[in-house]
Amino acid sequence: MTGTIVRIGWINLRRDRTALLLTFLLPIAFFSIFAMIFGGSSGGGTGRVEIAICDLDGSDGSRRLAAALAADPGLRATTETGDPPAPLTRESARMLVANGDLPVAVVIPKGFGDSMGQFAFGGGGSGAPESARVELLADSSDPVAPQLVFGLLQRAGMNAAPDLLARSGLSLFEKYAGGFTPQQKEAVDRILPELRGQAAAPNGGAAAGNGKTADAGTSSGIVPATIVDVLGESKKSGIIAFYAAGTGVMFLLFSMSAMSGTLLDDQESGALERLLTTPLGMTRLLLGKWIFMVAVGSAQLLVMFVFGAVVFGLELKQHLSGFAIMTLATAAAAAGLGLVLATVSRTRAQQSGMATIVILMMSAVGGSMFPRFLMSGTMQKIGLFTFNAWALDGFQKIFWYEQPLSAIVPQVCVLVVLAAAFLAVARRFARRWEAV
Amino acid sequence: MNGPAGSQALQVTGARKKYGVTEALRGVDLTLHRGEWLALLGPNGAGKTTLIRAIAGRVRLDAGAITLLGEPLDAAGGSGARAKLGVVPQDLALYPKLTARENLEVFGSLLGLAGTTLRERVRWGLDFTALAERAAERVEGFSGGMKRRLNIAAGVLHRPEVVLLDEPTVGVDPQSRQRIYEMLEGLRESGASLLMTTHQLDEVESLSGRIVIVDHGLVIADGSVPELIAKTLGGGRVVTARLHGPLQAAAAAALGGEAGAGTLSTRLQDLGAELPVWLSRVASGGGRIAELTVEAPSLHAVFLHLTGRELRE
């Protein structure tokens, strides 16, 4: 008898494709996504951090440091901007970070080359003049990138100018410990060109590294650097907005899916049959459902952001117009997707299962579960196929980067086009309910 | 259920519909007269629902034509004529979370009513269904009979001249069924023409309307119950005698009747003239009658005779 129950369970499971997918495919899909994000097995490797390098010193040492950074496999560096391209200034580098084009800009100050050796041997960098410290202009919405660049900066310093570091160290030794003997001087003179030669070699030995961040503060090390938060310290609101949007978009998708499922409820109750015998018609029926869903979805995001403003100090009032535009566009696309899921499904149970799979995967890849900047370059590109990514980018531009409304035009356009495309697809699939 | 013969309210001519290799309708001709209440019968899969859905605009015919009050009606168009059509689906096509009043308001609005007219018709619908006192209650708490009544009202709020009713009494108790038939009779008296599918043969028979029987996608009989009986089983009555003890088979055969377990029955065309003769022959054959019943042939018998199947098969 127990065997019969097992058999019934097996037959039911085998014949329920949605249950099969949820049981076996979804965990594998999720595992794969997480593995690609954190294991670097997406084919694109660990994501390279995009940086700007602004060399204000122009010395041999600063040039060698910049070159070593540019050659680092963990970084993708740019030294110019504009059209025609011009070397970066501190301000133009800062703007690149402030606009969210890249997370970190490395500014090598004047006098850096002269002070280079003192950093290493002057007491952990504390003896170096403040004016010679490298600045890491950072966007703190990405807390990982500045730390990573700081670590790579240390490695670049070691690899770029070992001869300079050694010379400086030897000078200090002579200063505090007395002079070298002629034989020692001869040996030093022999070894310094070799050290320089090593620095000039491809990668300068840097390839041996794996790009891990230095376990250090923000200013100690061979190359002392100061991490400067370009967007200011009062950006807590942006982080809250990021998580409000991330969570909001994911749950918006779930609620849109649930609401669009009323179409299948109507089908199962027979109400749809009755509706379609009235002058209403399928197009107006779908449009009515969509408008209602957009309204509820917008209200859902509004409630979440208002809660964020009241409880967590999210700066909603200051960004109301941008929020309204992004919310409407996001809700429009989410409602359209909900209708697609409903119209392609045969039953409510099927729609529910399919929606769970689609929404969780889109949210994982699109950045609703964890920031896309933590993902590899490939995964970030894949994420752009989800509207979560576009929605989150738009909200981030408004709340974090405080960019003007014109900056979110690409995001809004993509979301509006997606909404229209989803509606068209849903209308096409809904033909099965019309006269046959 | 009888309607006055007159101009046609609805006419279906040569309706054909094929789903893959299955021919659901194979050239159906059907006429519903103004003010008539027509019952459409047929076993499951006979083509009734396809026909009703085609008239309602939910199925596109491969061939044939449908006219409503003289105007052509098809799935793609006929929106003007379609406004004169009311559809009551077999499913309880209501919103359970909405109250009775809200359901009527919603469907009245979708049927093109607004403002004062809508309010008046909603009031009428609540009176019509005897649900005025429960107008503010959610439909999910209603009994099956109450939902059925509301289901009908929701389809006729716009005063249609022709009403399609697909199994309007399915799943309700006899009292509720009677109430629904009274509602439908009220509609007919107000001038609507009704086309109804049903499985309630006994009630169709007692309502004495015109009946159309469909099987294998074709109309196989059309007429009132007496007409159908006359056309298929002939006139006369079925006489059944319960006997004290079995009759010999040879004697039964000689009597020209059918012998059952302790019974003997025959069909007599002229009861007055033939019954005494038959009784005398039974007695002379050794049969001693304990009980005698005389019945007219039933619609059920006609149905079985025509289709070879029970209605629900």
List pLDDT tens digits, range B1-60: 544 444 889 999 999 999 988 999 999 999 999 999 999 998 888 899 899 999 998 999
For residue A390, give the nearest of A399, A380, A400 by alpha carbon.
A380
Residue-level pLDDT at B194: 94
Alpha helix (H) residue ranges in A2-143: 2-15, 17-20, 26-39, 60-71, 90-98, 112-121
Please judge whether A273 and B89 are an interchain contact, meaning their C-beta atoms are less than 8 angstroms apart: yes
Token code pair at residue A230: 């370009």
Containing H/E element for B85? strand B85-88
**B248 pLDDT above the threshold of 80:** no
Residue A22 is given by DSSP the state I
Residues of B in contact with A278 (CB under 8 A): 107, 110-112
Report the alpha-carbon angle B184-B190-B196, nearest 5: 30
Task: Give counts: helices (H), strands (E), chain B.
Answer: 11, 14
Residues of A in contact with B96 (CB under 8 A): 269
Residues of B in contact with A269 (CB under 8 A): 91-94, 96
Residue-level pLDDT at A209: 34
Residues of A in contact with B94 (CB under 8 A): 269, 271
Higher per-residue confidence, B1 vs B274:
B274
The interface predicted TM-score of the complex, written ipTM, equals: 0.79
Token code pair at residue B251: 């004697």
User: For A263-267, which contacts have Cβ atoms below 8 Å and span 24 or more sequence positions?
Assistant: A263/A289, A263/A339, A263/A342, A263/A343, A264/A342, A264/A345, A264/A347, A264/A348, A264/A351, A265/A348, A267/A433
Please judge whether A435 and B82 are an interchain contact, meaning their C-beta atoms are less than 8 angstroms apart: no
Q: Burial code of A367-385, b = ≥16 C-beta within 10 A, e = fewer?
A: bbbebbbbbbbebbebbee
Q: Does A271 touch chain B (CB under 8 A)?
A: yes
Which residue among B57, B59, B94 places its CB closest to the CB of A271?
B94
Residues of B in contact with A273 (CB under 8 A): 58, 89, 91, 93
CA distance A12 to chain B (A): 27
Surface-to-core class of residue B269, CB atoms within 10 Å of its CB (0-12 exposed, 13-18 middle, 19+ buried):
exposed
Give whole-number Cα distances, B180 to B31, B167, B172, B187, B203, in Å: 24, 11, 10, 11, 12
Under 8 Å between Cβ of A326 and A408: yes
Sort strands A225-229 and A134-138 into parallel, antiparallel or unpaired: parallel
Residue-level pLDDT at A202: 46
CA distance A422 to chain B (A): 25
Q: Does A273 touch chain B (CB under 8 A)?
A: yes
B263: left (phi over 0), alpha (psi -120 to 50) or beta: beta
**B313 pLDDT above the threshold of 90:** no
Under 8 Å between Cβ of B76 and B59: no
Q: What residues are paired with B194 via a beta bridge?
A: B37, B163
Q: Give the integer Cα–Cα distance in Å for A196 and B148.
A: 94
**B135 pLDDT above the threshold of 90:** yes
Interface test with A, best of B87, B97, B148 (most A CBs within 10 A): B87
Higher per-residue confidence, B129 vs B249:
B129
Interface test with B, best of A277, A283, A292 (most B CBs within 10 A): A277
Surface-to-core class of residue A232, CB atoms within 10 Å of its CB (0-12 exposed, 13-18 middle, 19+ buried):
exposed
Q: Does B56 touch chain A (CB under 8 A)?
A: yes
Report the alpha-carbon angle B306-B311-B313, nearest 5: 110
Q: Give the integer Cα–Cα distance in Å for B260 and B253.
A: 12
A76's CB contacts (< 8 A; 6+ apart) are A48, A49, A50, A51
Please judge whether A270 and B91 are an interchain contact, meaning their C-beta atoms are less than 8 angstroms apart: yes
Which residue among A271, A273, A436 places its CB closest to the CB of B95?
A271
Residue-level pLDDT at A195: 66
Q: Give the integer Cα–Cα distance in Å for A162 and A195.
A: 6
A323's CB contacts (< 8 A; 6+ apart) are A305, A316, A395, A398, A399
Q: Give the integer Cα–Cα distance in Å for A246 and A251.
A: 9
Interface test with A, best of B61, B95, B109 (most A CBs within 10 A): B95
Residue-level pLDDT at A217: 40
Interface test with A, best of B17, B104, B110, B151 (most A CBs within 10 A): B110
Please judge whether B75 and A435 are an interchain contact, meaning their C-beta atoms are less than 8 angstroms apart: yes
User: Which residues numbered 352-411 in A keep a CB inside 8 Å of some CB on B?
Assistant: none
Sort strands A75-78 and A49-55 into parallel, antiparallel or unpaired: parallel
Please judge whether A280 and B110 are an interchain contact, meaning their C-beta atoms are less than 8 angstroms apart: yes
Half-sphere exposure of B223 (CA within 13 A, CB side): 13
Measured between CA atoms, the residue of chain A closest to residue B160 is A278
Residue carrying structure tokens 């007692």: B206
Give whole-number Cα distances, B62 to A431, B74, B166, in Å: 18, 11, 22
Q: Give the integer Cα–Cα distance in Å for A291 and A329.
A: 12
Residues of A in contact with B87 (CB under 8 A): 274, 277
Q: What is the mean pLDDT of residues B219-234?
A: 84
Measured between CA atoms, the residue of chain A closest to residue B20 is A436
Q: Give the integer Cα–Cα distance in Å for B297 and A165.
A: 117
Q: Give the integer Cα–Cα distance in Å for A27 and A69.
A: 40
Please judge whether B107 and A279 are an interchain contact, meaning their C-beta atoms are less than 8 angstroms apart: no
- The type of residue at A197 is G
Surface-to-core class of residue A338, CB atoms within 10 Å of its CB (0-12 exposed, 13-18 middle, 19+ buried):
buried
Q: Does B93 touch chain A (CB under 8 A)?
A: yes
pTM of the model: 0.73
Residue-level pLDDT at A394: 93
User: Which residues numbered 113-152 in B keep a CB inside 8 Å of some CB on A?
Assistant: none
What phi and psi, each to the nearest 5 degrees, are found at residue B193?
Answer: -100, 135
Please judge whether A277 and B94 are an interchain contact, meaning their C-beta atoms are less than 8 angstroms apart: no
Q: What residues are paired with A87 via a beta bridge?
A: A80
DSSP A253-319: HHHHHHHHTHHHHHHHHTHHHHHTTSTT-HHHHHHHHHHHHHHHHHHHHHHHHHHHHHHH----GGG
Share above pLDDT 70 across residues of chain B, in percent, rounded to a whole number: 91
Residue-level pLDDT at A408: 95
Q: What is the mean pLDDT of residues B86-97?
A: 92
Q: What residues are paired with A146 via a beta bridge?
A: none
Q: What is the pLDDT along chain A (436 residues), one digit of tens a residue?
A: 777 777 877 887 787 777 777 777 777 777 777 677 666 544 445 567 889 999 998 888 888 888 888 888 888 889 888 778 888 899 999 888 888 788 899 999 888 877 776 655 554 444 556 667 888 998 877 778 888 898 888 888 877 777 777 777 777 777 777 777 777 777 777 777 766 665 555 444 333 333 333 333 444 557 888 888 887 655 666 677 778 888 889 999 998 999 999 999 999 989 999 999 888 889 999 999 999 999 999 999 999 899 888 888 888 888 999 999 999 999 999 999 999 999 999 988 889 888 988 999 899 889 888 788 777 777 888 889 998 999 999 998 898 888 899 999 999 999 999 999 999 999 999 999 987 7
Strands (E), A109-174: 134-138
Sort strands B263-268 and B258-259 into parallel, antiparallel or unpaired: antiparallel
Q: What is the pLDDT of residues B155-198, one digit of tens each?
A: 999 999 999 999 998 888 888 888 999 999 999 999 999 999 98
CA distance A292 to chain B (A): 15
Q: At what angle do helices A320-344 and A262-269 cross, to 10 degrees?
A: 30
Q: Does B240 touch chain A (CB under 8 A)?
A: no
Q: Does B183 touch chain A (CB under 8 A)?
A: no
A186's CB contacts (< 8 A; 6+ apart) are none
Q: Give the integer Cα–Cα distance in Å for B192 and A98.
A: 74
Token code pair at residue A397: 């531009």
